[in-house]
């Protein structure tokens, strides 16, 4: 879960970086797409995010995303067609997101 938390923070910050670096209104970068496997994999392997080149983005934004993808993939490449991931990988990623959101809600209720 720590890899996901770092990747999540990095991905949302990278989205802001893309908006600022390319002078794109942040509203054009659908926030709901930020944590999709395709976006994360593209950031990790192709150095693109929302289709924009992020190869010059700070390493502190790209490294956590790469680490999470490495942990999620378990060292196995998703194959040549990176637009499609195995269903079990998608379910695992969705479960991680769900568990994080559940823990986050519980933590907020405790305050």
| Nearest-angstrom CA–CA distance, 78 and 76 | 6
49 bridge partner residues: 52
Q: How high is the pLDDT of residue 1?
A: 61
User: What's the pLDDT tens digit per position in 86-110?
Assistant: 888 888 899 998 888 888 776 666 5
Q: How high is the pLDDT of residue 85?
A: 80
| Nearest-angstrom CA–CA distance, 84 and 18 | 24
pTM for the model: 0.81
Helical ranges in 1-111 per DSSP H: 2-21, 37-41, 59-73, 87-110
Identify the segments of the chain with pLDDT beneath 50: 81
């Amino acid at each position: 879960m720590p890899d996901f938390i770092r990747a999540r923070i990095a991905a949302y910050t990278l989205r802001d970086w893309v908006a600022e670096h390319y002078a794109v209104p942040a509203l054009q970068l659908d926030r709901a797409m930020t944590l999709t496997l395709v976006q994360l994999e593209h950031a990790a392997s192709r150095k693109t995010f929302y289709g924009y080149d992020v190869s010059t983005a700070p390493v502190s934004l790209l490294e956590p995303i790469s680490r999470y993808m490495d942990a999620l993939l378990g060292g196995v490449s998703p194959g040549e067609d990176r637009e499609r991931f195995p269903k079990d990988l998608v379910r695992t990623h969705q479960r991680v997101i769900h568990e994080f959101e559940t823990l986050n809600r519980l933590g907020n209720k405790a305050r």
